[in-house]
Amino acid sequence: MLDVLLLDVNETLTDLEPLRDDFEAAGLPRHTLDAWFAAMLRDGLALTTAGAYADFPALARELLEAQLVAAGIEPTEERVTGVLSGFTRVPLHPDVAPGLRKVHAAGVRIVTLTNGRAAMSEGVFTAGGIMPLLEHRLDVSVPRRWKPHPDAYRYAAEVCGVPVERMGLAAVHPWDIDGARRAGLQGFYVDRRNTPYPQAFLPPDLIVPDFEALAVELAR
């Protein structure tokens, strides 16, 4: 029985592909998005592992500046802001709004939890029509531990006033599902690209191709 569906945000709800245009406009190759995004998680998780904390936007900016310098491009404020502001304009995947409407109609509470900043996605959620469905929009700046540290998921359960086992995390990232499961939550793998799920991680409770399919599974 599920009381609260906890949602990861970047890549799970939002489609980051348009950011490749912003990298290109700043003079960087389009594939820079992949290394940049993985490096942000690497650095945020490294600090969490060491018992420390940094803001996602601060890491995003520093890594982007380093990548511009490495490519021989001056890291002007215009170039840096051009890429970073892209996060506030990315679209939701097309299955998100119809899927979440069904989950909400079934009486399941819906809450987001991101390693980024909750405020960065407000415009995206409003434009995508899901803002009224979200009971809370949480980020890791309160527990000061990035997901998949158990404190991040426990914080969300505490805010919602539910035991962790009545909460399920939906994400496209296996490491996030693994962490949620280790913290006691259920884990739902949203696998839009049909990507093999790594055996290094605890398996998900459900594997679905998108949020419309997840809504059907949760209504069973």
Residue type, 45: L
**Span interacting with a copy of itself, options 89-97, 135-143, 199-207, 212-220, rule CB under 8 A:** 199-207
- Options 22, 43, 95, 139; binder of a copy of itself; rule CB under 8 A: 43
Q: Rank residues 13 and 183 by Cβ distance to a copy of itself and give the closer one.
A: 183
Q: Position of tokens 């399941």?
A: 108
**Span interacting with a copy of itself, options 17-25, 132-140, 176-184, 207-215, rule CB under 8 A:** 176-184
**3-state SS of the chain?**
CCCEEEECCCCCCECCCCHHHHHHHCCCCCCHHHHHHHHHHHHHHHHHHCCCCCCHHHHHHHHHHHHHHHCCCCCCHHHHHHHHHHHHCCCECCCHHHHHHHHHHCCCEEEEEECCCHHHHHHHHHHCCCHHHCCEEEECCCCCCCCCCHHHHHHHHHHHCCCHHHEEEEECCHHHHHHHHHCCCEEEEECCCCCCCCCCCCCCCEEECCHHHHHHHHHC
Number of residues that bind a copy of itself (CB under 8 A): 45
Q: Is 24 in the site for a copy of itself (CB under 8 A)?
A: no
Q: Which pair of tokens denotes residue 56?
A: 């996602």
Nearest distance from C-beta of residue 36 to a copy of itself, angstroms? 9
**Span interacting with a copy of itself, options 1-9, 55-63, 78-86, 212-220, rule CB under 8 A:** 55-63
Query: Rounded to an integer, what distance in angstroms lies between the CA atom of residue 213 and that of residue 100?
Result: 10
| Cβ atoms of 115 and 48 closer than 8 Å | no
Q: Is 34 in the site for a copy of itself (CB under 8 A)?
A: yes
- Options 110, 118, 149, 171; binder of a copy of itself; rule CB under 8 A: 149
Q: Is 200 in the site for a copy of itself (CB under 8 A)?
A: yes
Q: Rank residues 194 and 220 by Cβ distance to a copy of itself and give the closer one.
A: 194
Q: Is 49 in the site for a copy of itself (CB under 8 A)?
A: yes
- Options 42, 105, 106, 163; binder of a copy of itself; rule CB under 8 A: 42
Q: Is 72 in the site for a copy of itself (CB under 8 A)?
A: no
Given the rule CB under 8 A, which residues bind a copy of itself?
Answer: 29, 31, 34-35, 38-39, 41-43, 45-52, 54, 58-59, 62-63, 65-66, 69-70, 145-146, 148-150, 174-176, 178-179, 182-183, 193, 195-196, 198-201
